[in-house]
Chains A and B, each alone.
Chain A
Amino acid sequence: MRPPPLLDVRDLRRNFGSFAAVDGVTLSVQPGEVTALIGANGAGKTTFYNLISGRLRPTGGSIFYRGRDITGTPPHSITRMGIARSFQITNIFDQLRVIENVQVALVIRQGKGTRWWRRAARDEDLRLQAGELLERLGLSGLAMARAGTLSHGDKRLVELAIVLATDPQLVLLDEPTAGMTPEETHAVVDLIARLAETGPQTFFLTEHDMDVVFGLARRVFVMHRGRLLAEGSPDEIRANPEVRNAYLGEEVY
């Protein structure tokens, strides 16, 4: 028997006018299993993530997280339930220091958002936990820098740090290596693999780089024109003629 799924999506739909961006997707993510969602540009991957994370409301279908119906729940509640996400285009707090970027999430998680008198910089818990997290991501040396001044790769790490600071069970990463140099990509893949192995988080990512997908994921879903085309282990997906036809073939460079 498989354990109950962490995420269970049933017949999820989202229309933009008459265009069905997500057209009846049913899938589930098992706890602890790195899962990937692949598909060509415009296949509906990002819309699918926006639906799960509460950025968009579904037109139909439902989303269950740990057995609970979370369809239509706002993003901040979904985040506090344990689903955190990164964005395809880096989304951080540019003018805040790197350590403050992480502390925003920590303040909420530790229920300190209503503390209006005590200095945030003197809060030991906030400082130590943020410091630990930055160390795990190799950002310790940049803790006091303004996040907006960092390199592209480091900014993506800051976003990952914010995501992890929410203490998620399920982490949605929308193309975590987009725009990175090969070295940075390599480092991030290693990092995710290490986190997935040791941490309590389950990773569910979209990716264009097939090396990344097949190196990390144990289960792969393929989306094509809003629908699920195939699912299986990386080997099964690679061998699937339909997938090769619809998608992998286009990606040969």
Chain B
Amino acid sequence: MTGRGAARRVTLLALLAVLAAWPWLAPYFAIFLMTEILILGLFAASFNLLFGYTGLLSFGHAAYFGTGAYVAALLLRDMAPPFLAVLAAAAVGAAVVALVIGWFSVRLTEVYFAMLTLAFGMMVYALVHQWRGLTGGSDGVAGFPLTAPLPGVAVNIADPVNYYYLTLILVAVSAYVLHRITVSPFGLILRSLRENSERASFAGVPVRRYRLAAFVVSGLFSGLAGALFAPFNRIAVPEMAHWTQSAEPVLMTILGGSQYFFGPFLGAGVFLLLRQWITSYTQEWMFFLGVILAFLVVFLPRGLLGLFDRWLGGRS
């Protein structure tokens, strides 16, 4: 077991080294691609705190991703505070939205929970789409400056390489925090809810309160991902809050393996690489993605990491 722990640590360090050297190793366009993989990987990992660890399938996570994107874009457009303050405000804003939506949603479970989160997600989308005075409707929010990360830190994050590094640092720190949460006593309670919420309540766990806590933490990091995504695209558009955006973390997580902490990150990478690759041949990339996903769900129910795990023998 310590052997596996050490192997995992070495793999992780090697991965971080590759990511740190990425702008030198890879062609220019791949810097954008990797930035997107990191951001959507964080989004999927946040989603998976709720799905893989707490056992709640949300179909409305674009609500928090979109909230993060819009709070960031609007703050940059109207007030232009330091960029890290923008990210913090966007994450907290998304957490507040998650607190409100979660307060209603955690009363239900399974398909009812999924439907309720989907319904709330559609409401947030409608709000973003219709409230033209604030959000610019379907035009979105664009034309905002990218401010310095902190006062006195004169790094130009409009440079794609700098934005990549900013993203890498924030995603790495967030992933570390999320991982600590999953192995903490709090995380143990969340896993017990996934396994058997009835037994948990008869072990003294106030089930709804813990589900809500997981929901809010998940929303917070989803919001941070959204707040990194809008400036990356130089625009916040309603599609970032649309239910199709909610589907992405679900697909990525299932692709990578929901029972593994890094499953969502791997899933995000494979998802975006597949999209990149298939769209270079055809516009109908969703069809081929559908074929691949159907294949994976049937033959690899535990995702790609589940497959690696089987090759290596035994479970982690």
Contacts and interface: CB of A to CB of B under 8 A. Distances in A.
Interface of A: 53, 55, 74-77, 79-80, 84-85, 91-96, 100, 103-105, 107-109, 112-121, 123, 126, 162, 165-166
Contact of A104 (B180, B184, B192): B192
A104 B210 CA distance: 13
B8 interface: no
Given A104-B192, A107-B185, A113-B210, A119 B203 contact: no
28 contacts: A74-B201, A79-B201, A80-B204, A84-B203, A91-B202, A92-B199, A93-B191, A93-B199, A95-B195, A96-B195, A104-B189, A104-B200, A105-B203, A107-B185, A108-B203, A108-B205, A109-B204, A115-B186, A116-B184, A116-B185, A117-B184, A119-B180, A120-B183, A120-B188, A126-B185, A162-B199, A165-B203, A166-B204
Contacts of B196: 91-94
B201 A93 contact: no
A240 to B, nearest CB: 33
Given A93-B195, A116-B181, A108 B204 contact: yes
* Interface residues of B, dominant DSSP: helix
B151 interface: no
Nearest to A75: B201
B197 to A, nearest CB: 10
A119 B205 contact: no
Interface in B186-234: 186-189, 191-192, 194-196, 198-207, 210
Contacts, number: 100
| Interface pairs A-B: 5 shortest CB-CB | A93-B195, A105-B203, A108-B204, A116-B186, A79-B204
Contact of B184 (A93, A109, A120): A120
Contacts of A108: 189, 203-205
Contact of B198 (A91, A103, A115): A91
B243 to A, nearest CB: 30
Contacts of B181: 116-117
Nearest to A85: B202
Nearest to A91: B199
A84 B188 CA distance: 20
Contacts of A166: 203-204
Interface string B158-198: 00000000000000000000001101111111011011101
Nearest to B198: A91
Contacts of A76: 201-202, 204-207
A97 to B, nearest CB: 10
A105 B181 CA distance: 18
B191 to A, nearest CB: 6
B187 A104 contact: no
A85 B203 CA distance: 9
A80 B221 CA distance: 32
A19 to B, nearest CB: 24
Nearest to A80: B204
Nearest to A84: B202
A91 B54 CA distance: 18
Nearest to A121: B183
B207 A118 contact: no
A212 to B, nearest CB: 23
B188 A107 contact: yes
Nearest to A112: B185
A211 B189 CA distance: 38
Given A92-B196, A119-B184, A113 B201 contact: no
Given A105-B203, A113-B205, A96 B183 contact: no
Contacts of B200: 93, 104
Contacts of A107: 185, 188-189
A166 B201 CA distance: 11
B201 to A, nearest CB: 5
A119 to B, nearest CB: 5
Given A93-B195, A94-B196, A162-B199, A118 B205 contact: no
A103 to B, nearest CB: 6
A243 B269 CA distance: 69
A120 B191 CA distance: 12
Contacts of B206: 74, 76-77
A120 B185 contact: yes
Contact of B203 (A77, A79, A116): A79
A94 B207 CA distance: 18
Nearest to B184: A116
A75 B205 CA distance: 9
A116 B210 CA distance: 12
Contacts of A117: 180-181, 184
A108 B191 CA distance: 14
A134 B186 CA distance: 22
Nearest to B194: A95
Most A CB within 10 A of own CB, among B180, B181, B194, B200: B200
A53 B202 contact: yes
